[in-house]
Chains A and B, each alone.
Chain A
């Protein structure tokens, strides 16, 4: 049941994007989001789509794998699109009884759908090509200047990496407990919402118990290794920029400038 969730998952492959510095990819995601909101006409849409196709090809991650992640948000996007379609004021192009569709509505619905899908694909490419550890490392280094403002950057990064690290473990644990209870005749699928919620108790209680036990063990293990926070802590594999990363930044800059130029010019 958890196999279909690809958002946030890492996909091992041998590609330019996989070896890129996580800071470049984080910056790339930011640039991507900005570009999506700048994009509002056909020429900029073509540029953005071209860039996305290029990135997908570079990532060596099969598109079908990313598309699986889209399936889970399909409903959300469709509902948002329908609201945009029917409730945007403008010049009516289609009228039937109480239903009115306007040109602005069509435009809004289409661009919103494209933005949502592109957003999910773009951000999932980052997580698909970056290991969780690498990602938090990148975040920690990129946000390091904020520690001057007393933002606990290291602690936040540590919490993030622990949380990410535990997702697969807890999914595994959930599967195991589910199977164990199913072997005792538990039913997690049928019934209405209330019985379904009630039937989750045999799953949730052991899951919480084990999560707390694991947290406890981890805290002990960290203390036994004299962990005392970020001060004076060094890294085994510190992040270093390579030539490719600089080219990556350059490409991002050109892409963003191009998108803005196309919006302004047309």
Chain B
């Protein structure tokens, strides 16, 4: 099992600071400490997240994944340990969490529940307005963000409460995008969306990542969902990060993952079975992560490539 041993003990050199966006140093968090309701949610997590990464944070319900991401923009404060963002300690007295939240956008689970304005446009403007931008810039940003999420033009001035669920979700995500964050965190963004809506959303996130180079962290309980898109997977269990690596590296631990009641994508276990049965003459192949990869592997083995 690949476990993390990364820790920060000494001040970081400047060159290192510039290239890293998040460093979590022995972060722990306990809900309602000192009462009968006390629950340790994060246990001594040390982790670094580089600029421009595309990360899937996986774990089953109650593993601490939502709690972890809420630390990244300072909505929750660790009971012990600390977080550095671009080399600065965010728990410093002088550090402005307001500014941090402007740079680290957070899309919560069921984000459509946060819509409140009379029109979609006004709602999307809420973030930019809090950033202190002038009205023209606000509208520009909002328009841009709504376009990015492929929100229908003729609904810009409708009440957000008159929209369909999928459109509400897009409007809510646009509300965060309009702030032009450097890091975008999405907590179960596809919950309640149909398969098409899910693919569209992930496609959009990939586009954002590739074009604007922002860091994206997707929280999900499903490997299947994120495997195709992310470059790095963090698996959480019981408040700890138990696996950290590329999808290929992490999915090589199928058995340990299913012990955590997480399953690898169907295509991964399928190709693994083929490998075990000796279908591939080339013994160096590893299980596929995406359907395209599996297709390539099988066609190659059949000599039709």
Contacts and interface: CB of A to CB of B under 8 A. Distances in A.
Interface of A: 3, 11-13, 65, 173, 176-177, 179-187, 201-202, 205-206, 209-210
Taking residues whose C-beta sits less than 8 angstroms from the other chain, chain B's interface range is 20 to 34
A58 to B, nearest CB: 17
Contacts of B98: 185, 187
Given A180-B114, A201-B116, A13 B36 contact: yes
Nearest to A6: B35
Interface of B: 32, 35-36, 70, 73, 75, 98, 101-102, 105-106, 108, 111, 113-116, 126-127, 130-131, 161, 175-176, 179
A179 B161 CA distance: 20
Contacts of B101: 182-185
A183 B116 contact: no
17 contacts: A3-B32, A176-B108, A177-B114, A180-B113, A183-B176, A184-B101, A184-B114, A184-B126, A184-B127, A184-B130, A184-B176, A185-B130, A185-B131, A185-B179, A202-B116, A206-B113, A206-B115
The 8 closest A-B pairs by CB, nearest first: A185-B130, A205-B116, A183-B106, A180-B114, A184-B127, A180-B108, A202-B116, A179-B75
B99 to A, nearest CB: 9
Contacts of A201: 116
A206 B114 contact: yes
Main secondary structure of the interface of A (DSSP, over half): helix
B108 A179 contact: yes
Contacts, number: 61
A180 B130 contact: no
Residue of A184, A186, A205 with highest tally of chain B CB at under 10 A: A184
Contact of A65 (B35, B70, B105, B175): B35
A4 to B, nearest CB: 11
Nearest to A60: B36
A15 to B, nearest CB: 12
B113 A177 contact: yes
Nearest to A185: B130
Nearest to B108: A180
Contacts of B116: 201-202, 205-206
Residue of B36, B111, B175 with highest tally of chain A CB at under 10 A: B36
A182 B127 contact: no
Given A176-B108, A176-B113, A179-B75, A184 B179 contact: yes
Nearest to A61: B36
Given A184-B101, A184-B179, 5 more contacts: A179-B108, A180-B111, A183-B101, A205-B116, A206-B114
A179 B130 contact: no
A154 to B, nearest CB: 32
Contacts of B105: 183
A180 B113 CA distance: 9
A183 B73 contact: yes
Contacts of A180: 106, 108, 111, 113-114
A187 B114 CA distance: 15
A184 B70 contact: no
B42 to A, nearest CB: 17
Contacts of A210: 113
Nearest to A205: B116
A160 to B, nearest CB: 23
A181 B114 contact: yes
A188 to B, nearest CB: 12
Contacts of B161: 209
A177 B116 CA distance: 10
A210 B113 CA distance: 7
A184 B101 CA distance: 7
Contacts of A186: 126, 130
A250 to B, nearest CB: 30
Contacts of B175: 184
Nearest to B70: A179
Contacts of B113: 173, 176-177, 180, 206, 209-210
Contacts of B36: 11-13
Contacts of A11: 36
A244 B301 CA distance: 77
Nearest to A179: B75
A192 to B, nearest CB: 18
B78 to A, nearest CB: 16
B134 to A, nearest CB: 15
A173 B108 CA distance: 12
Residue of A185, A205, A209 with highest tally of chain B CB at under 10 A: A185
Given A180-B108, A202-B126, A185 B102 contact: yes
